[in-house]
Amino acid sequence: MRTFIAIELSDEIRAALAQIESHLKYSGADVKWVDEKNIHLTLKFLGEIDEDECGKVKVVLDQIADTTKSFEISVNDIGAFPKIDYPRVIWVGLDKGTAESKLLAERIDEVLSKIGFEKETRPFTAHLTIGRVRSSKNKQALKEKMGSVGLQETRDKRQVVSSVVLFQSKLSPKGSIYTKLHEVRLS
């Protein structure tokens, strides 16, 4: 099964991100927008794992949750990977909670590497993917729309992160379908 570990977002933050997507859609750019209900903060992508590995991941998450305190997040800015002039992924970044989510992701990565999962090669960047650019169509209009997004209302949205979820991701023609396999409460 294809899996990843993530933080679920509040309905309030998801709705704010959907408004940002709606604004950006007016650019007419060729972007596959992430469905509002599927936007999350990925801590670790695991890829294909079997039932035995899934069980081991659950144990690791239980252990980490016991020693990790809840923390607050808020969103801050909008950007693109690898960069705004050549966007492939459109994202919204974190403001509050950046350091805490980075530390959590690094702990998960470190402990999972000890039981056979490949360690991340790139440093963790706390971001919420809202779209994936498919072609350069209307790229300049997209860049302009990104520069004109009003983020003040979105920045005021805050969420307490009190759990981490192991998700299964099934790909379908209508997009990814996420199923919770295991949820752990932070202390």
User: What is the CATH code for 2-185?
Assistant: 3.90.1140.10
pLDDT of residue 173: 83
> Which among 5, 24, 40, 101 is annotated as catalytic?
40
> Which among 14, 44, 127, 145 is annotated as catalytic?
127
pLDDT of residue 150: 72
C-alpha closest to that of 165 among 176, 154, 180, 151? 180
Residues near 107 by Cβ (< 8 Å), separated by ≥ 6?
64, 68
pLDDT of residue 143: 94
pLDDT of residue 172: 85
- The ranges of the chain with pLDDT < 50 are none
Give yes or no: 127 in active site: yes
Give yes or no: 182 in active site: no
Cα separations (Å) of 123 from 43, 52, 77, 134? 11, 28, 19, 25
Domain ranges of the chain: 2-185
- 8 A C-beta contact, residue 154 and residue 16: yes
